[in-house]
Amino acid sequence: HVEASIPEPQREAWTRNKFQGFQNKDEFEKEVVRHVETTLARSMFNCDETAAYSATSLALRDRLILEWNKTQQRQTYRDSKRIYYLSLEFLMGRALDNAMLNIGAKSVAKDGLNELGFRIEDIIGQEHDAALGNGGLGRLAACFLDSLASLNFPAWGYGLRYRYGIFKQEIIDGYQVEVPDYWLDFNPWEFPRHDVTVDIQFGGYVRKGQDENGKTIAHWEGGEIVQAVAYDVPTPGYDTPTTNNLRLWSSKAASGEFDFQKFNSGDYESSVADQQRAETISAVLYPNDNLDRGKELRLKQQYFWVAASLYDIVRRFKKSKRAWSEFPDQIAIQLNDTHPTLAVVELQRILVDIEGLDWDDAWKIVTTTFGYTNHTVLPEALEKWPVTLVQKLLPRHLQIIYDVNLFFLQSVEKKFPNDRDLLSRVSIIEESQPKMVRMAYLAIVGSHKVNGVAELHSDLLQTTLFKDFVTIFGADKFTNVTNGVTPRRWLHQANPRLSELIASKIGGHGFLKDLTALNKIEQFVDDKAFRKEWAEIKYANKVRLAKYIKSTLDLNVNPSALFDVQVKRIHEYKRQQLNIFGAIHRYLTLKAMSPEERKKQQPRVSIYGGKAAPGYWMAKQIIHLINSVGAVVNKDPDIGDLLKVIFLEDYNVSKAEMIIPASDISEHISTAGTEGSGTSNMKFVLNGGLIIGTCDGANIEITREIGQENIFLFGNLSEDVEDLRHAHTYGTHTIDPNLTKVFEAIQSGTFGEANDFNALISAVRDHGDYYLVSDDFQSYIDTQNMIDTEYRNQEEWVTKSIRSVARMGFFSSDRCINEYAEVIWNAEPLAV
């Protein structure tokens, strides 16, 4: 806005008075006090930890804003290719600690807060997690934002500003209870942009008209309008001024004349009802992980978010006055799963209906712009929308989908004539009752690259789910980008002592920017003092978790015991049931021993955490079983410290930061071929924990990197799963005898009501054991026993731990983002 810019002669005053944010401890304190006394209107006589958190965040935020503004100006001025990451979920966790570490202000803040009478850990602990995601997919998006900024890529995230994030989990009488997560009371990390709004249309009809040249043009008319308002969240990179933007859209009623008329004519109630209906769109995050429930409001969320984001992206592009053909040179858009696939259709609509491009020219631009990431092969997670629903909400989009499909099928027919079966297999429209739009197929056809998230997963995509598309488009369109995690949050922030120890040995914190530098610690593996400190840090992290368990569950656990952890969403395919059946087997085995024999056993704390989707009954049964077992085992005097079974309530990002550094063994035990990648496996190993796992997802690549002597693999392989399932259904299905004993114990009432867990048992015994719990049981038990033995040799164990961490360099999300940039986005960082 040139008219708003300050004239040249007065700019000197601006430059002279430039606000720089705090630069040292004294200035930090001054800023905190100023924010307490003015922004918060309080004083030292009523400054509690909440107020201190608020003021600290506001002081930090001021620093972020300055860099954020400069970054945006720089990116606009240089006009290089931008990356847009479209994700319905960003599981960011807490922002304050991350911001302090990334901009290098933590020690100043720590000392400053101390002088003001606060401990920095307590202040950090005041923050409510930003929990706009379910699990791995949403957390991956958050790690990607950290890497994009840290690597200086010009990139924006686009998402929805849910009023309620993932529900808070309470455990009452052993059962999960969901409580709404209202998190926006005070959120210093977001900036409402009431001037950045987009009107989003739903419903109505399509009228065919003609432009001035007689060309047919579709007009989408009528229906309702909902307004999207932008909320911006600055995302700072580590050790760089780059501060990128995450733009989240919030919905509200469009302030059209219509509403005013209603309001003035006395129809107050219905005008308020309109308001509420509009606000419903961004009200709540759907709490399902790896499941598609096909709800109408979910489709509305998707279109609302995608349309607002594309309008924004196109508006920014048009300011550059470039030709449309340059759009894909300037813009790469990544689809995080199929949730934003309507973006493909929306961009085609904008280019053809609004900008007047020819269909083919437009389609070329669209397909060159988009990339699509698939996160799962589970059939129940693949999105499909009823044609009738799309027709009702998005009539013009349905027409475009039909045309895209027609032209696509025509091209297939040309290449593979007379293969009607192939056409019906790959059709974007499933000819079922009712007809459905297959979103994954639309995403493939609408993108130039499709990737899976770990090698095995990408191979499975190419050989099973998307096989026909490999034949049609060629293998080059499909690729793998193995997931990674940000070492800033998942090592430096979560495990500061380990990060410092590593830094002290290898000459500073460079490994946080190039994680492969971790390999330099392997040369110290025989250094006695180093090993001792390594072990002490793990122990201290376990003590911290033990204290947390004491304070929340009033249970004493011995920090010297082996801590065995499985924290992730509860899902049958992730097999927490295998873990708890294993724990029951352990309990029964201990009970059957003489007291002398028991004394020789390795004490263990079996720790679980994770949310079940509110409608996922089986997952909730698993939680109930874990708690029921804990209730018996934890107070059994025969057992004492030998076994504790702990369920940690409300697992989330900030709890993960405490739990992960405290584990000796973590479990990544999905049925082979079902887990896309897994990312917590990487976080645990990076923190010096060993893992027990199946040959699934990224476990396979972790094994390749760290060496098979440093990981405990067990169970059947993915290539054998189909045959085993076939045998369960058509052969005689015998259940593992040790597992049978576990079932007998449960059904004799050892852990409460005898019949409470029949469904969990039946799934294995009577209904085909789809997840191969019985097939893998003995191998699981044997491997756990091997772990007990190996844990007793602490020298060997510490060696494995150090070597594993040293070899984890590959699993940084920085490596992952660089691969996306090179192979999919063709984008480069912007020098600062």
Q: What residues are annotated to the active site?
A: 375, 568-569, 574, 679, 683
DSSP 3-state assignment of 379? Answer: helix
Q: Which of 40, 55, 140, 515 binds ligand T68 (CB under 6 A)?
A: 140
Cis before residue 434, ω within 30 degrees of 0? yes
Name the residue nearer to ligand T68 (CB basis): 376 or 495.
376
Name the residue nearer to ligand T68 (CB basis): 143 or 739.
143
Alpha helix stretches (DSSP H) within 281-358: 296-319, 327-330, 342-349
Q: How far is the CB of 527 from ligand T68 (least distance, A)?
A: 35
* 669 near ligand T68 (CB under 6 A): no
Q: How far is the CB of 313 from ligand T68 (least distance, A)?
A: 23
The structure tokens 């045998």 sit at 727
Single out the segment in contact with ligand T68 by CB under 6 A; choices: 99-107, 287-295, 315-323, 517-525. 287-295
* 288 near ligand T68 (CB under 6 A): yes
* 667 near ligand T68 (CB under 6 A): no
Name the residue nearer to ligand T68 (CB basis): 230 or 381.
381
* 136 near ligand T68 (CB under 6 A): yes
Please, are residues 567 and 608 in contact by the beta-carbon 8 Å criterion? yes
Single out the segment in contact with ligand T68 by CB under 6 A; choices: 241-249, 427-435, 598-606, 669-677. 669-677
DSSP 3-state assignment of 132? Answer: strand
Residues in the chain: 832
Q: How far is the CB of 18 from ligand T68 (least distance, A)?
A: 42
Q: How far is the CB of 340 from ligand T68 (least distance, A)?
A: 12
Please, are residues 238 and 512 in contact by the beta-carbon 8 Å criterion? yes
* 289 near ligand T68 (CB under 6 A): yes
Distance separating alpha carbons of residues 689 and 678, to the nearest angstrom: 16
Torsion angle in degrees (nearest 10) through CA of 399, 400, 406, 409? -140
Single out the segment in contact with ligand T68 by CB under 6 A; choices: 235-243, 283-291, 347-355, 622-630. 283-291
Single out the segment in contact with ligand T68 by CB under 6 A; choices: 286-294, 406-414, 542-550, 777-785. 286-294
Residue with nearest beta carbon to ligand T68: 136
* 650 near ligand T68 (CB under 6 A): no
> Cβ atoms within 10 A of the Cβ of 265, count?
9
Name the residue nearer to ligand T68 (CB basis): 395 or 697.
697
Q: Which of 57, 134, 250, 541 binds ligand T68 (CB under 6 A)?
A: 134
* 590 near ligand T68 (CB under 6 A): no
* 804 near ligand T68 (CB under 6 A): no
Site for ligand T68 in 677-696 (CB under 6 A): 677-679
Single out the segment in contact with ligand T68 by CB under 6 A; choices: 14-22, 225-233, 396-404, 675-683. 675-683
Q: What values do phi and psi take at 713, rounded to 5? A: -95, 150
- Of 518, 472, 467, 464, nearest to 491 (Cα)? 518
Single out the segment in contact with ligand T68 by CB under 6 A; choices: 299-307, 360-368, 651-659, 672-680. 672-680
Residues 344-383 as x/- pattern, contact with ligand T68 by CB under 6 A: -------------------------------xx----x--
Q: Which amino acid is at 7?
A: P
Name the residue nearer to ligand T68 (CB basis): 405 or 812.
812
Distance separating alpha carbons of residues 44 and 676, to the nearest angstrom: 51
Residues 438-467 as x/- pattern, contact with ligand T68 by CB under 6 A: ---------------x--------------
Please, are residues 342 and 372 in contact by the beta-carbon 8 Å criterion? no
Q: Which amino acid is at 791?
A: Y
Please, are residues 198 and 321 in contact by the beta-carbon 8 Å criterion? no
* 628 near ligand T68 (CB under 6 A): no
Single out the segment in contact with ligand T68 by CB under 6 A; choices: 117-125, 136-144, 526-534, 814-822. 136-144
Instruction: Give the rounded distance of the alpha carbon of 608 from its chain centre.
Output: 19
The 3-class secondary structure across 597-651, one letter per residue, is HHHCCCCEEEEEECCCCCCCHHHHHHHHHHHHHHHHHCCCCCCHHHEEEEEECCC
The strand ranges marked E within 361-491 are 370-373, 384-386, 429-430, 436-438, 449-452, 478-480
- Of 343, 336, 377, 370, nearest to 142 (Cα)? 336
Residues 697-716 as x/- pattern, contact with ligand T68 by CB under 6 A: x-------------------
Q: How far is the CB of 620 from ligand T68 (least distance, A)?
A: 18
Name the residue nearer to ligand T68 (CB basis): 483 or 499.
483
Please, are residues 176 and 539 in contact by the beta-carbon 8 Å criterion? no
Q: How far is the CB of 144 from ligand T68 (least distance, A)?
A: 10
Alpha helix stretches (DSSP H) within 187-331: 257-264, 268-280, 296-319, 327-330
How many residues form the binding site for ligand T68 (CB under 6 A)? Answer: 19
Name the residue nearer to ligand T68 (CB basis): 134 or 694.
134
Site for ligand T68 in 481-500 (CB under 6 A): 483
Please, are residues 779 and 714 in contact by the beta-carbon 8 Å criterion? yes
Distance separating alpha carbons of residues 812 and 808, to the nearest angstrom: 8
Q: What values do phi and psi take at 607, rounded to 5? A: -110, 130
The structure tokens 């390999």 sit at 519
* 290 near ligand T68 (CB under 6 A): yes
DSSP 3-state assignment of 171? Answer: strand
Distance separating alpha carbons of residues 481 and 701, to the nearest angstrom: 12
* 675 near ligand T68 (CB under 6 A): yes
* 676 near ligand T68 (CB under 6 A): yes
Name the residue nearer to ligand T68 (CB basis): 345 or 440.
440
Instruction: List interacting residues with ligand T68 (CB under 6 A).
Output: 134-137, 140, 288-290, 375-376, 381, 453, 483, 675-679, 697
